[in-house]
Amino acid sequence: MIVFVRHGETVPNREGRLLGWVDAPLTEVGRRQAEQLAARLRDLAPAAVVSSPLGRARETAAPIAAAVGGEVEIDDRLIEIDYGEWDGRPLVELPSDVVARWRRDADFAPPGGESLRRVGGRVAGFCEERLGRDGVVVAVSHVSPIKAAVCWTLGVGDQLAWRMRLDVASITRIAAGPVLLSFNENVL
């Protein structure tokens, strides 16, 4: 099973800004969420705790790994979508026709960024490699890669990600098959 964990709260997430490769640290609330995630996941005794290379994911993964006596393994495939020139901007400030195109077309990429299809491809590779191989794997990542994992699991198009809400510090579980066991479990 892969237990996907979305990182804890950051200021840009709280403000509704696109937060891709520009990194932001966890807030105090985000650090408490990471501790709560560690307490909740401890009993799963994961064989591995894997994280996106971004600091907010590593900050979330560290207490989880410490709770199970392990180390954090970094996997670049878990990094957030690259929003390119739009990184840090509020989604609501983008022109509505551009957002509509983005929602329809999985190959659409923000200027200097990457498409949902590209994110889906790298996350599918991670899932295919790790699912069922190591027992329970905790994968600390971001909104777009976790939604991509759900799309891969369900065998649906990448653009379906726009119809999902995934909160910070939430848990999504995928079992071998692949089968979606849970989505957007909240720790609070």
3-state secondary structure of 50: strand
In the set 7, 9, 114, 142, the catalytic residue is 7
Residue 23 burial (10 A CB sphere; 0-12, 13-18, 19+)? middle
pLDDT in tens, 151-183: 999 999 999 999 999 999 999 999 999 999 999
Q: What are phi and psi of 174, to 5 degrees?
A: -125, 130
Cα distance between residue 81 and residue 52, in whole Å: 11
Cα distance between residue 150 and residue 141, in whole Å: 13
Sign of CA dihedral 107, 2, 170, 165: positive
pLDDT in tens, 85-104: 999 999 999 999 999 999 99
CATH number of 2-186: 3.40.50.1240
In the set 9, 59, 80, 114, the catalytic residue is 80
Give the start-to-end residue ranges of the domains of the chain: 2-186
pLDDT at 129: 95
pTM (predicted TM-score): 0.96
Is 80 annotated as catalytic?
A: yes
- Measured CA to CA in angstroms, residue 21 lies from 5, 36, 80, 106 at distances of 18, 25, 6, 19
pLDDT in tens, 52-98: 999 999 999 999 999 999 999 999 999 999 999 999 999 999 999 99
